[in-house]
Structure 1
Amino acid sequence: MILSPDTRVAVVTGASSGIGEATARTLAKQGFHVVLGARRIDRLETTAAEIGGTALELDVTDEDSVDAFCTVLPRVDVLVNNAGGAMGLAPVSEADLDDWRWMWETNVLGTLRMTKALLPRLIESGDGLIVTVTSLAAFSVYDNGAGYTSAKHAEGLLHRTLRGELLGKPVRLTEIAPGAVETEFSLVRFKGDEERAKRVYEGMTPLVAQDVAEIIGFVASRPSHVNLDQIIVKPRDQANSERFHRTTD
């Protein structure tokens, strides 16, 4: 990857769809050269071609994949830890350990791998920014959601701990915690069950990926002395993880 010395580079994980893809497009419009990472390389290449970015295959649960991805990056100014997700919706008594492992590997250890690997270059940039997309689930619990809420709590604590550890370094850290966003999130959680996924958003107006991407773009455009520590964003129709206003026909 050959870029001019003054080109700012933004890395976005989970960039093949949803919030990640929308964020890549938003940051590209702001002048960043965006490096898109995800497993679905065909989708990445399409988006990268449209925004003038770079598509690189990335599996944040695989150490070798993370190393190969990070090795080719000439510099990093912004890291958006967006890769993550939920799998299943079962009570603790019926927990699927494979689902739990996937959620912890993706949300927690995936964020750790990427942050640890790129932190030296973020510091070297002189004005680094780490945005971690957690969830409203990082602040609350709900029945049958312990696998996801525990992973998001851990991801949030990882990010918040780093805020203190990097005090005095030229790196800002922002945690963005969305509520209900209509993306592929529920489709993944319910393992391809489209009807069940659609019911999550029935009778309400959820957020869309672009809503969150615009917030990330705003964060990235702040002066270097301004650190937006934590942003919780929910649709107007959502009060908390379990309470929604829904209309009925």
Structure 2
Amino acid sequence: MKVIDTQIQRYLDGENNVSDYWVFDEIIPGEHHFSAPILEQLQLRELRDSIITLLHNFTPLNIQYFDTIFKDWREATKDTSIELVVGCPSVYDMMVRNGVIIIDLQNIDAYLQQGITLSELMQQLLTHELAHVCIRKDYILKEGASFEEKVDYLVFDEGFAHFLADNSDIDPLEYSHYYRESTHQLCEVLKEKAEARQNELLIAMNTNRNYWDKFGAISGKLFLKFSAKSDHTLQGIYAKGYRGFARRILAYRGYEQ
């Protein structure tokens, strides 16, 4: 993976045009979003250097699942670029845009203040984004896709990414209320007919700062946690693709057993 820190270096050099960078026009395509950095330059420099060190020889979480689902993931991601930036809105800590993984260091630092180590955080978040890179090489949402196809794709893409970035054991009984709530919201989304509201919902499904309120991602992740009892089952779910994924989730009742 190739690490690019052009925008951060501009900031460290005291340049005035740090918001004039392609990333801030792609967070939400067609809009420009930039939040002025408040992280001190010394902290930013040290964080950048630490992240670059961790990126060398990175191994994702749940490597056995990566090997099962993405047969050639190492080859598929070896030329992936990683942009280190500062200035994304707070809910955008790490993301993929135009095939590039973008890491906002100020938003990463906000997590570190909560007590998680940088190594743990980077493994979770980068596993998530590498999953996106692999998924988007296998499945492409075609231009002109219907609203339901967009919902399917988002839930499939985010569900698998969140699933792969989590190596904890989840008790279906303990987490069934999250599943019910997220699938209830997903069901309501699929009923929406107004185009303007549909566009709002596609953003809202996965951008809430509260993790369990990201109902698009949570419904997909918990469906996989509850239903994928083996590598073979997981591979089969992935092979079916994203079309119809949301309604397959809504029809699932295995968490009640």
- Give the structure with the higher percent strand: 1
Which structure's CA Rg is the greater one?
2
- Fold match by TM threshold 0.5: no
